[in-house]
Amino acid sequence: MLCKGGRVDEARTILEFMISRGEHPNIITYSALMDGYCLVGQMDKAMELVEVMKSNGCKPDVVTFSTLINGYCKNQGIDEALYLFQEMCRKGIAPNIVTYSTLIDVLCKNNQLQFARELFKEMEAHGPAPNVVAYASLLNCLCKNGLIEDATEMAGQFEEAKNVFSFIKARGLHPSMHTFTIMIKGLCRKGFLVDARELLKRMEDYRCSPDACTYNTLIKGFLLVNDVKTALELLNLMTGKGFAADSNSTSLFLDLLCISNISSNDRALRQSFFEN
């Protein structure tokens, strides 16, 4: 509680009193104080505490390293964070999800895309599985660097696709039109069509206008599950903004024209579209 409230000096006094009485603080106690130093930007004292730990027979673990890495990342110390990452790996301490996601996030923010991708691939290959923080950070960075195909492939593989927008919004990021379209495609591939349509509506909140690709992506998603009504609503919205259905959407609409259980009203609407 003292550390969370920024009262790290008081917490340190208590720690030193414990040691003077012959007590042996555990890794949780040291990590809490270390996190407190990181929160107030006193990274030198956080690192000093590591030496105190070791001198008292308490070996740094993955939580220790992750706490320090997170602290350096939040205090513009990316080089120090990367050094600690390499050091923990050298010591045989396996990074956890916090370690990886923290580094990937800060690397993407500093546009160090290549290293971020290497860490992401390492997570996929050896675990832990990438979480929404790592995924959203890398997805946004790929889009900003024009690597749309890579981002699209990534969007279709991630199991937590529907949580990405919530993360992006919470972090105050500003996704591009390409990022939105790719997230919509990922949601459609996972069957989260309601979430995908909601994301289309959210684009206006970011002053980001959908293009023909965005609309066609969503239309195809609904057509593939035979949701003709919603597909037509989106089609009318798209054409009203001056966009046209692409060849794939057109083909799917034509296929549905041949389905016998389609209502006459829907059939008339589709026929009217293709005649215009």
Eight-state DSSP code of residue 128: S
Residue 24: predicted pLDDT = 80
Residue 153 within any structural domain of the chain: no
- Domain limits for position 271: 211-276
Q: Would residue 100 count as lying in a domain?
A: no
**pLDDT of res. 276:** 44
Q: What is the mean pLDDT of residues 155-181?
A: 68
Residue 65 lies in a domain: no
Taking alpha carbons only, the member of 130, 71, 125 closest to residue 96 is 130
pLDDT digits (tens, 9 = 90+) for 196-241: 898 888 887 777 888 888 888 898 888 888 888 888 888 888 888 8
Q: Considering the domain boundaries, does residue 45 fall inside one?
A: no
Mean pLDDT of 254-260: 58
Q: What is the pLDDT of residues 81-111, one digit of tens each?
A: 999 999 999 999 999 999 999 999 899 888 8
CA 161 from centroid of its chain's CA atoms: 9
Q: What is the pLDDT of residue 148?
A: 72
Give the model's pLDDT for residue 84: 95
Q: Report the mean per-residue pLDDT for the chain.
A: 80
- Number of Cβ atoms within 10 Å of the Cβ of 93: 18
Q: With 80 as the cut, is the pLDDT of residue 67 above it?
A: yes
Write the CA distances from 50 to 1, 10, 17, 216, integer angstroms.
20, 18, 17, 55
Q: What are the angstrom distances between the C-alpha of 209 and each of 142, 167, 176, 250?
A: 20, 21, 9, 22
Q: Determine how many CB atoms are found less than 10 A away from the CB of residue 258.
A: 7
Task: Look at the block and give the residue holding tokens 């509680």.
Answer: 1
Between the CA of residue 192 and those of 20, 181, 200, 205, what are the distances in Å? 58, 14, 13, 21
Rounded Cα gap, residues 60 and 158, in angstroms: 33
Residue found under tokens 């949780």: 28
How many domains does one find in the chain? 1
Specify whether the CB–CB gap between 217 and 223 falls below 8 A.
no
> 144-164: per-residue pLDDT in tens?
787 877 877 776 666 555 566
- Considering the domain boundaries, does residue 95 fall inside one? no
**pLDDT reported for residue 264:** 54
* Residue 109 within any structural domain of the chain: no
Q: What is the pLDDT of residue 268?
A: 53
Residue 104 domain flag? no
Q: Quote the tokens at residue 201.
A: 């509506």
Of residues 158 and 41, the one with the higher pLDDT is 41
Angle between helices 228-240 and 247-257 (to 10 degrees): 140
